[in-house]
Amino acid sequence: MGRAPCCEKMGLKKGPWSPEEDNILISYIQNNGHSNWRALPKLAGLLRCGKSCRLRWTNYLRPDIKRGNFTKEEEDTIIKLHENLGNRWSAIAARLSGRTDNEIKNIWHTNLKKKLKNYQPSQNSKRHSKINHVSNKGPTTSESSNNSDFSTNNSTSTKLHIKIAPNSPQLSSSEISSVTLVVDDNQMVIIKEEKIESSSSEYFPKIDESFWTDELSTENNMVVGHDQEIQVREENVDIFTTSSKMEEDMDFWYNVFIKTGDLPELPEF
DNA sequence: AAAGCACTCAACCGCCTGTTC
DNA sequence: GGAACAGGCGGTTGAGTGCTT
């Protein structure tokens, strides 16, 4: 420990921001950026801690923030995403442009949770994400790393091969990466990505419409019904896709598949 | 009209993780 | 390797506002 608290309480203002403070923060960031939040308030002449400035900027002052009521579509999206991601508000916010994690968290607790309760009284929280990346970031939340509700006895050795069409039709097969998801003993998904140099027939025997629409290979006898929990211990999932911000999308996509057996809309890679 | 209650949401808090030295 | 720092995240709080009685 021995770590200095984020805010030195002495002399620093707390509570609601005044329009003057907002203006100071906005103009400072517009002119100088925000490379160091801790130093920012001093440099900008604000009696706030860096954390407070960052929060004010990211949750309220950022120019790309969409204000106003959530649309029905946005609400539906949040409900769907929450079902698959759990309380990972920032991950949900990343998929709703212009909305902040704080805003989504608020709307969830004040509005959608109630709505969902009325609409689906039998729904429980078991459908939260149980799978985490460990490739770069490690488990994302303490909740999601809790596998207590995840059956680990009688492990099966289901093997999946999932093929995802490249989103962009102009991509050549040489631009396609191979992604392997390996579920280890702790039910952690390790994502391994590697570029495939050429159109290796081993990985991509044929790239045409019929190949890509046959996303789930039936040869592996993978049958997952709606609302059915499946055991992923010792399971290997091979996914072929193009990639950039792939990991998060893959996590979401994979969770939907694992829990429902549905192949949801392909993520935008 | 006013008191009490419910709701909303901006802001804070504490913890965790990644980075730097 | 480990301590300190910085940023990010989810949970929680509480002031302000609206609604009900």
Summarised one tens digit per residue, pLDDT across range A112-129 is: 777 666 554 333 332 222
Strand C within 7 A of A226 CB: no
In whole angstroms, C7 C1' to A37 CA is 8
Torsion of CA A241, A242, A244, A249, to 10 degrees: -30
Beta-bridged to residue A180, according to DSSP, are A192, A238
Chain B positions with any atom < 7 A from a protein CB? 7-18
In sequence order, the 6+-apart residues with CB closer than 8 A to the CB of A117 are: none
A54: three-class secondary structure by DSSP: helix
How far apart, in whole angstroms, are the C-alpha atoms of residue A247 and residue A254? 10
Condensed to tens digits (0 to 9), the pLDDT of residues A8-51 reads: 445 688 888 998 899 999 989 888 888 888 888 888 989 888 88
Cβ of A118 near strand B (distance < 7 A): no
The reply to whether A243 Cβ lies less than 7 angstroms from strand B is: no
Run of H or E residues at A31:
helix A19-32
Cβ–Cβ contacts within 10 Å for residue A26, how many? 16
Question: H-helix or E-strand containing A61?
Answer: none
Q: Is the CB of A95 under 7 A from strand B?
A: no
pLDDT at A109 over 80: yes
Q: Which residues pair with A43 in a beta bridge?
A: none
A122 C-beta less than 7 Å away from strand C: no
Is nucleic acid strand B under 7 Å from A7's C-beta? yes
Mean pLDDT across A88-94? 88
Nucleic chain B: which protein residues 132-151 of A have CB below 7 A from it? 136-139, 142
Residue A88 Cβ < 7 Å to strand B: no
